[in-house]
Amino acid sequence: MLFAKVLPKFCQLHRPLLRSYGFIPSHLLLKAAPPPPPPPPRQPSKQSLIGKRKAARRMGSRDNTLLLFDVDGTLTPSRQVIKPQLYDFLVKDVKPKFKIGVVGGSDLVKICEQLGGGTRVISDFDYVFAENGLVAYSSGDIIGTESIQKYIGEENLQRFINYALAYLSKITLPVKRGTFIEFRSGMINVCPVGRSCSQAERLEFYEYDKVHKIRETMAEDFRREFGDLGLQFSIGGQISLDVFPKGWDKTYCLSYLDKIPNIHFFGDKTSPGGNDYEIFFDSRTKGHTVTSPEDTEKELREMLQKLQ
């Protein structure tokens, strides 16, 4: 009787040894304990949830946050068309979470051409600011216009145009084409190579200008000659110089946005002398320097990820 009670315990205690010799009867083994239940799915910690909520509050909601984009070099290659995938991403993924807008030095026709063709960008985006905001649209409706002709007067306007044409006639470049002066509603665009140049000629001038500082030198000369007119000379895009009254840079569009507390600006020409510089460093915006449309999309996806 005692042997019958002790034998199972003995076999269990020395199971490895007895099994190696084939001496352990299976009916004497104690049943193995059932495996423990799987751990419950890991819940996000209170600290991580708080971090995400803080990030969301910093970004704000759609009602009080605007993502404002430069065009050339930010949403499109210079003077080229936006990729359909990026346009759809902005309208379908970004717009439901934030207001979106664009501000460019070009006139409205060129901005519409670059952002999908037609006028759909005017209704798809919450804000469209052409010529730095001197022609302004909100949700498809025009909300303001301004004229450089009215501001400085016809006499001063012709004085500048005549001087600029004379200046351009004295410089020699790898190529020269046509449309050296383009008069816009809110600014004058001066282009040493000529706006009718081909894409290859545009890129050739851009590389040449990096070395020879054609536009930078021209801007310095214009500042000396026209200091009395209160004009600003800003290098824009790859081939031209934008001329407009001081304060009519891209910060001009902010006058329409005083009810939006959080404005994030994305631009590529954010260094001194670039046409994104003033709005990038303005106290009313949070500036983001980007290097290409792909870089812009990458930064936007990271911003959206923080809100999840």
Q: Which active-site residues does the annotation give?
A: 70, 72
Question: Of 75, 134, 73, whose CA–CA distance to 101 is shortest?
Answer: 75
- In DSSP notation, the chain reads -HHHHHHHHHHHHTHHHHHHTT---GGGSPPPPPPPPPPPPPPPPHHHHHHHHHHHHHH--TTTEEEEE-SBTTTBSTTSPPPHHHHHIIIIIITTTSEEEEE-SS-HHHHHHHTTSTTHHHHHSSEEEEGGGTEEEETTEEEEE--HHHHH-HHHHHHHHHHHHHHHHT---S---S--EEE-SS-EEE-SS-TT--HHHHHHHHHHHHHH-HHHHHHHHHHHHTGGGTEEEEEETTTEEEEEETT-SGGGGGGG-TT-SEEEEEES--STTBTTHHHHH-TTSEEEE-SSHHHHHHHHHHHHHHT-
